[in-house]
Amino acid sequence: MSGETVEPRTDCIRCGECCQGSSPSLQMEDVPILADGFIAKTDVYTIRAGELVHDNIHDRTKITQEEIIKVREKEVGGGCLYFDEVQKSCKIYAHRPFQCKALTCWDLDPFMGVYNGPKASRDEIIRDKTLTGLIQEHERKCNYDRLDGCVKQIETGGERAVERVLEVLKFDYHLRPFVSEKLGIESGEMDFIFGRPLTETIIMFGLKVNKKPDGSFLLTMLDPQQTSTPQGKSLKGP
Ligand code: SF4
Ligand code: SF4
């Protein structure tokens, strides 16, 4: 022990630790940066109400009751997509989300004040009537309450119940390329428009889907060793 006392931090040294931990979710104040294209819609995804997420702030898994729009994490190594590992800086610093502006790792009060405020949602961002109609139809057919109900019937309902689950998954799966092609929207935006694919989030019900070469889906039980929380945390971690 050197006997030196370490002074508590009082300003940001831009070490990037918070950016490497997780990506931010968007607050209502962030709607303009998404609408104006400073954050690309291909760089975010929607976590829909009813989805199982890991809450970084309280370090627990929970079903979210509200919609969350979140910046994507890096596929390798995790952390925020916009963090430049070489420069150790934010690629969109001037237009970084509200949560990032509020985060001071030595005092979480400002961050929590922002975090507890209203979240951005697709309703505030997507104005195209055709698209909002499609989202409503998708929500009607593929909402998590309905999927939960269908899954619960599997034990007693047998093959017919499995078919009902697969019908929901197939609708979600096939709608995405259809909308991308018909409306000329980048396929990378579909996770923002319709949320994470149900073929991925179905693991929250202890199930997984195998896509067979002939295009059909096979629903099986998840290996208990595999996580049942879909990848992607809902919150920016300090
Ligand atoms: S807020 Fe803290 S963890 Fe984040 S970059 Fe600044 S000093 Fe590093
Ligand atoms: S948007 Fe920028 S500041 Fe915010 S977590 Fe990502 S890299 Fe860090």
pLDDT tens readout for residues 127-144: 999 999 999 999 999 999
Q: Which ligand is nearest to the CA of 80?
A: 2
For the entire predicted model, the pTM comes to 0.90
Within 6 A (CB) of ligand 1 lie 12-18, 103-105
Protein residue closest via CA to atom 5 of ligand 2: 19
Question: For ligand 2, is residue 24 a contact (CB within 6 Å)?
Answer: yes
CA 181 from centre of chain: 23
Q: What angle do CA 151, 176, 164 make, to 5 degrees?
A: 20
Tokens of 45: 């995804």
> Cβ(50)–Cβ(202) under 8 Å?
no
Q: Which residues contact 186 (CB under 8 A, 6 or more apart)?
A: 41, 42, 180
Question: For ligand 2, is residue 82 a contact (CB within 6 Å)?
Answer: yes
Question: For ligand 2, is residue 100 a contact (CB within 6 Å)?
Answer: yes
Residues 21 and 29: their CA atoms lie apart, in Å, by 22
pLDDT, residue 223, reads 77
Q: How far is the CA of 214 from the centre of ligand 2 (A)?
A: 42
pLDDT, residue 213, reads 86
Q: How far is the CA of 103 from the centre of ligand 1 (A)?
A: 8
Rounded to a whole number of angstroms, the distance between the first and last alpha carbons of the chain is 28
**Which residues of the chain fall short of a pLDDT of 70?**
1-6, 224-238
- Greatest extent of the chain over all pairs of C-alpha atoms, in Å: 70
Q: What angle do CA 226, 220, 216 make, to 5 degrees?
A: 125
Q: What percent of the chain is modeled with pLDDT above 90?
A: 76
Residues 27 and 98: their CA atoms lie apart, in Å, by 7
Of ligand 1's atoms, which has the minimum distance to the CA of residue 104?
A: 1
Protein residue closest via CA to atom 8 of ligand 2: 19
pLDDT, residue 238, reads 36
Tokens of 37: 């294209």
User: Which SS3 state, helix, strand or coil, does residue 44 take?
Assistant: strand
Residues 216 and 219: their CA atoms lie apart, in Å, by 10
Residues 207 and 166: their CA atoms lie apart, in Å, by 11
Question: For ligand 2, is residue 162 a contact (CB within 6 Å)?
Answer: no
| Domain residue limits, the chain | 17-124, 127-221
Best CA proximity match to 196, nearest among 6, 48, 95: 48
pLDDT, residue 218, reads 92
Question: For ligand 2, is residue 23 a contact (CB within 6 Å)?
Answer: yes
Backbone angles phi, psi at 164, to 5 degrees: -65, -40
Of ligand 2's atoms, which has the minimum distance to the CA of residue 24?
A: 5
